[in-house]
Amino acid sequence: MGYTRTSYVCLPCRGSYKQGYDHGPERKCPRCGAPMIGVGSAFQPPRRRDDAAWRVLSLLLHAGIRFHKRGCDGCGSGYRPRTLAEVRARVAYARRSGEPLAKALVRPVV
């Protein structure tokens, strides 16, 4: 049985860290000391200088969306929007249809 680790993100300093489950309930960023957000084991961080990607990531995390593996090994976490245009389209769809924002954001087709 392997050692399971998951990713944590610090939005203020744009850092991503993999840690095991044995570090306690609250994680602090090693760079700035701010609380980190658990994002899941299937998370791939954007480049630190990619402002638009970090803005999209921030919107997804604040909507409650995480990046956990589904079912089989290596399946990934399903669809997640990568651009602000995709996020805007899904927000507009959620307003029109009345669907919850978190569901509209992970819907592959609008």
Q: What is 23-70 written as a DSSP string?
A: G-S--B-TTT-PBPEEEETT--PPPTT-HHHHHHHHHHHHTT------
Of the given ranges (22-26, 33-37, 41-45, 104-108), which has the lowest mean pLDDT? 22-26
- For 8, residues 6+ apart whose C-beta sits below 8 A from its C-beta are 16, 17, 18, 19, 27, 36, 37, 38, 39
Q: What is the pLDDT of residues 9-32, one digit of tens each?
A: 999 999 999 887 666 668 899 899
Model's pTM, two decimal places? 0.81
Contact 70, 79 (CB under 8 A): no
Instruction: Kindly tell me if the per-residue pLDDT of 55 is higher than 80.
Output: yes
Three-state secondary-structure class, residue 102:
helix
pLDDT at 47: 93
Strand partners, 37: 9
Mean pLDDT of the chain, nearest integer: 85
Label residue 90 by pLDDT band (50, 70, 90): very high
